[in-house]
Structure 1
């Protein structure tokens, strides 16, 4: 969810070709691929974020493909292919349960798996699957809206709210439920779920999965009780200890690398999280966190990249963040601003224009934005639209060593 938006910005013609390849694969296989490889669709991880890639591309002006056909393949896949991670084929009893109850059920600790299609290592990932499916359904609702399919829009937008079924208001976490609708308790959000927490999450623990789905941050803030609580929870994410020695921690969470507290820089589900401080009205915290992460975990030495590159995901995070903005919700043609790493960056756009980002008085210590202008006019807030970039021009950040604490109020 970082690589595709970066390609949309830098190589839109190639993105058109890629989407047409996805559509061609869907014609041949009957399913819209979600994780295509040289040997076919791997159906890896969870969710079918092809919907997000297609929506994001369309809303950013990439139109060299048949959206109606893409939607038809996506709809069949999302409604009738199983949501089970790393499993290909028709929907299972777990998918039928999801359609009826609005969440993927988890097993209690020690309970034996009874659904034969569940991958023996990847497990059910019940919370992660639910959250990913909600985002996919939101993407589907937006494509349906573009195509004038009002009934489909209503159907998918309602399903996109299913994350509420797993939000535990007492703890402020997305919490697994069993097939009877009861919370699985007692529960440790740091370590429960087996290897990589895959019984309930995926490669990361419950702390990482608080900050989803990508389309519902305003609702998440509301469910947490407001921006102050949201801000405090973000602070706690970055300061909460591992809870075990790092050797014990990595023995069960080997993919959750690049840690800052419970935050995981080395795995894709975390990449948008530092930018969420903007939504809490604390952009100076986004600026602080992003600059620290770039300087700590992306260095030109043996440290290199802090986790599995996964085909360009972490590099895309670095490129976006070094430029000073990031696509928090692919599908919405806008970005959240951060703290640019370089004094000047030029993006040579496919339309022949150039978008320049300048950071005046930028340094290791001057990482905070005091003010900004876009094409000579005051740039207020933290939202940069894709169309503003495509129009070309210059975005100037005036940097300072002192945070503008009330900038988002």
Structure 2
């Protein structure tokens, strides 16, 4: 069962034609839950935000999304990166990276338009000081260039750019994996540790800051997903040791208590680098990394959860997960409009909660529309024939 759990997403990123193989829907379901949670978290100040799992542990949906993306990429590219097909796989990955880059630029421009419209039509100029917009307003010419070159990122608009960089790195990852999976793990772990210790991170052009999600750090989680998928597809299984299950459950429980009871003042550094003992999201501190891995491990080895997540292909959650990129872009735009809505309503949590509930419903409507559009597109050639 575990092997089947990870053998989803073969259609992911165009790897398999629709209908070519039976699609395992479990990764789609978990990806859909991540997308919906990201949307909820990206409209801060309303009640539903306090129900997401970021309030009960060190990691949040961003870590889960990247891990699932690594699993999906492992399914789509793992077996295809062989002699004679490596150039095609490389170009395919880079084309996908370009798609993500264009989506990132588009959502950033729409975000600017939404906040500018709020400032213009509601007379709330303070909106232009939100989510890192002010540098673009004050240095427009430099700001446009910086945004296009990924040297300036708006708040809540930084996942796609990081993911695009990971896909640019993918051919090198797959090449190392072809030599030895252990070599890939060692190189990735070393880069993660070096990035955290030496603060290796892409810097912004307009200010003294840097990327909120450092690709040199987050690539480690992405690689772990690829390696897990490749291991299972090769016939391996995750260990079901009672000790490992107990340790994972204990870590998840301690993490929940840490967040719920605000134990942040407890010093666990012991003189070690912050990437090993801190809780920094930019450099994906070990505490966050272990939390998402512990959660994923428990979800993978508990059969009941696996069965619950295996839904029909026409289930609404599966539809959302199947169209992850357009749904993510749609959710980001909704979330940015929601932030402006909360701002002009003086951050009324009830109004914000109602907006988020409506937005979740629109996610399902949009996913259904995308599925319908896909069916129409495939039906027309048959009708014409």
Is TM (by shorter chain) over 0.5?
Answer: no
Q: Which has the higher contact order (CA 8 A, sep 6+)?
A: 2
- TM-score (normalizing by structure 1): 0.27
- TM-score (normalizing by structure 2): 0.28
Higher strand share: 1
Higher helix share: 2
